[in-house]
Structure 1
Amino acid sequence: MTSRWDHLFESKPIPILDHLLEEVARLLTKDLSQWPPPVQELDLDVGGTFAPLFLEHPPRPSPAVYDEALRLSHWELEREFEAYDDYMRNKRYLERGLAPTDRLALLFLNRWLVEQMLGLGEATEGRVKRPMMRQILDKVEARLRQVQPPPSGLVL
């Protein structure tokens, strides 16, 4: 006779690091559901460029801005500086469907995501390394796609 709890004993435990990556992705996705995402402090000398996002309360950027910010964040964590520089110098975000007015939000989201990942690396004393940070970004991207409504006019 099997107990309703037998499946718990038979299942494999989830390694703590895998659980941490899932939990961080969940928390970041929750933070990204707000616009702008929460910041602990805004240093006007360093981040003053982003002040309009907090003072003027512009509307939430389109999902494409989040996608592109994740792309840039991946490149930064992979140290693909040439790809990043080419993208920004040649305004490739315009080719990806973003408007010139999306640039500030794109840069802010990119900076926010990278800072979150580097802060996690510091908080874990280097146990969460860049490849794991990229895994988290992949998970965030997948979660954001789950919560985004389909484009208008598209029937599923």
Structure 2
Amino acid sequence: MTLNLTVNGSRRTSASEPATPLVDILREEFHLTGAKPVCREGFCGACMVLIDGKPTPSCLMPAALAQGCEIRTVEGLGAGNTLNTIQQALEACDAVQCGMCFPGMVVTLTHLLTTAPSATRDDIRAALSGNICRCTGYERIVDAALTALAKK
């Protein structure tokens, strides 16, 4: 079966089995390695992508169910080589640690900043509850999100 997917605005095809997790196709076939298959159970957030604008763990999404949807990975959030607002703020606030969880956090925070432009510190913490980071206490990440919100 041929899977037809729209990833970061481009039509892509895959000959993978329909039940193949989307994260595997993104990484192995399309070479979009931002989404990380860490837990493969949907609770760590490292594989988060936007499916029709909503944060979705790509390790739980069978690729066939993503057909007809707009898939946006961390690689597709900026404009060319220009980082988006949250990526710039995370860099400016020195919030990035090892990088394993950050693509998923960027995806989650990009969605939050788009849908909740008046988000509070508590809103940001709640939005990040599905993203696990073992390297940081999250404060710089929350500060970066607030910095990005102030720029909008």
Q: TM-score over 0.5 for the alignment?
A: no
Higher strand content, 1 or 2? 2
Give TM-score, length-normalised by structure 2.
0.30
- The structure whose Rg is larger is 1
* Greater share of residues in helix: 1
